[in-house]
Amino acid sequence: MAFARNIAIFTVTLSLLVFIAFFGRLPAFRSTPIGFLHRLLIIHIPSSLRSLDLYFTNGRITSGSSRLGHYLMYEKHPVVVIFFLGLLTGSTALFVPVIWSRLPLHHQILIPLILPLPYIFTYLSATRNHHAYITELNHAAQMRCYPYDRILYYPGNPCQTCLFIKPARSKHCSICKMCVARMDHHCIWVNNCLGRGNYRWFLALLLSTGTLLAYGAYLAYMIISPLAKDHYETYEHWYKYELDPTADPSSWLTYLDMKLHYFLMFTSIYLEEGGLRASGVGLLALLTWPLPLALFGYHIYLIWVGMTTNESGKWADWRDDMNDGVVFLGQRRQDTLQSIYQTLPEEEEPRTTWPLESRHILVRTMNGEPPQNLPSRIRSVAKEDSFQRVWSLREVENVYDLGFWDNFREALK
Ligand SMILES: [Zn+2]
Ligand SMILES: [Zn+2]
């Protein structure tokens, strides 16, 4: 019982740490406890350990581990892909054989249909990058996909590595060593950048993995529940009459204590009755299925607001500066809007197929005073004296937001 309970506590803690490590960096969590714990885990604890190591061993421990850390963080490597697919394969090999004979026929048909999906979508996310990567061959076409909004992206910025003008919404990935079209993020789970061309496979991967895990947890519950039922009634009786008969049943502390005991007992009974193979994997699936689905939900939110993960970070920077009162919104001169008049050579800002034009320009100033002596790239397109202080992102147009369904169609390209 104590062993099973320790396993349950260990698995819950591990899931929480994984959640913080993977989700804590999202701009949405920047000023929440999750963001704080993420900074503690990724920045503060490692830097304290480094200082200790520097003090005691003159940095001998961290110089070896930082080479490994550098490899894992900044080089293209399949370690996480192998870990993920290995965990999935290992769990399946442990889980399916012990429950197979007890499953109804329709589940025996459904499992072989759902199980291959995460493998297929991992493969597609990892390999379908001939549209995501910008090359000399497709550069001209990539330049015509999105206009420069002059908020997040300005025309005429060359990539120092790839030596061409960066198309709007693209970003150079220092791990892939390529510029990526409509860059979302570099994903270590698939060892590839996600952008135009393979983002859809990433969405499919999240959805299929979340569904598979939830399904696995449900199957474990379905198989073990009848076995655990008798025990559960005994435990319920034990808590009510023997653990603490004097506890005040109306107090929220008793209520919380009872719920916590129930949860731990329930998990323990399952681990004992189902055996470590069925219930251990079932518990892992139960605790992890919300992770891919929450990430899927977050990406649906990003599609809804017309942003990539990369852009959500840039917008969050603007929002933080707006809160400090140092951001000014200017109107673009009508005659410089792309459809009417071209201010830059065709190679730097070609005519795009995108239906919207940006009418706004954002400027941040160092001292919070209205902008003066604007650089020529802004002066040439902005209406003079049109700059007003803005306090909220709601006042700014996002030219890449066409409304949910059009954004969704765009995300699948
Ligand atoms: Zn580049
Ligand atoms: Zn990359």
Mean pLDDT per 10-residue segment, the chain (413 residues)? 64 77 74 84 80 79 70 79 91 89 92 95 88 89 90 91 93 93 91 92 96 93 78 69 66 73 71 75 87 93 94 92 89 63 67 84 84 79 82 90 93 91
CA 199 to CA 168: how far, in whole Å? 17
Amino acid letter, residue 79: V
Residue whose token pair is 């954004």: 407
Tell me the ligand closest to 132's alpha carbon: 2
Centroid of ligand 1 to alpha carbon of 163 (angstroms): 7
**212, 114 contact by CB (below 8 A):** yes
Task: State how far the alpha carbon of 212 is from the alpha carbons of 8, 198, 266, 289, in Å.
Answer: 21, 21, 23, 8
Tell me the domain boundaries of the chain.
1-75, 305-411
- Would you state the torsion angle of the CA atoms of residues 372, 376, 382, 387, taken in this order, to the nearest 10 degrees? -20
Name the closest ligand to CA 158. 1
Kindly tell me the burial class for residue 74, based on how many C-beta atoms sit within 10 Å of its own C-beta (0-12, 13-18, 19 or more): exposed
Give the number of the ligand closest to the Cα of residue 161.
Answer: 1
Contact 108, 71 (CB under 8 A): no
Distance 173 CA to ligand 2 centre (A): 5
Taking alpha carbons only, the member of 40, 9, 10, 15 closest to residue 25 is 40
Which of the following is catalytic: 162, 173, 187, 193? 187
- How far does the centroid of ligand 2 lie from the alpha carbon of residue 122, in Å? 15
What dihedral do alpha carbons 110, 115, 116, 117 form, nearest 10°?
A: 90
Give distance in angstroms: CA of 175 to centre of ligand 2.
Answer: 5
Q: What separation in Å is there between the alpha carbon of 304 and the centre of ligand 1?
A: 28
Clarify whether 187 is annotated catalytic: yes
Strand partners, 361: 330
Ligand nearest to the CA of 195: 2
188 alpha carbon, closest ligand = 2
The dihedral over CA atoms of 2, 8, 221, 298, expressed in degrees to the nearest 10, equals: 170
Q: End-to-end distance of the chain based on CA atoms, in angstroms?
A: 52
Query: For residue 307, how far is its CA from the centre of ligand 1 (angstroms)?
Result: 21
Residue pair 32/19 in contact (Cβ under 8 Å)? The answer is no
CA of 330 to the centre of ligand 1 (A): 30
Q: How far is the CA of 17 from the centre of ligand 2 (A)?
A: 24
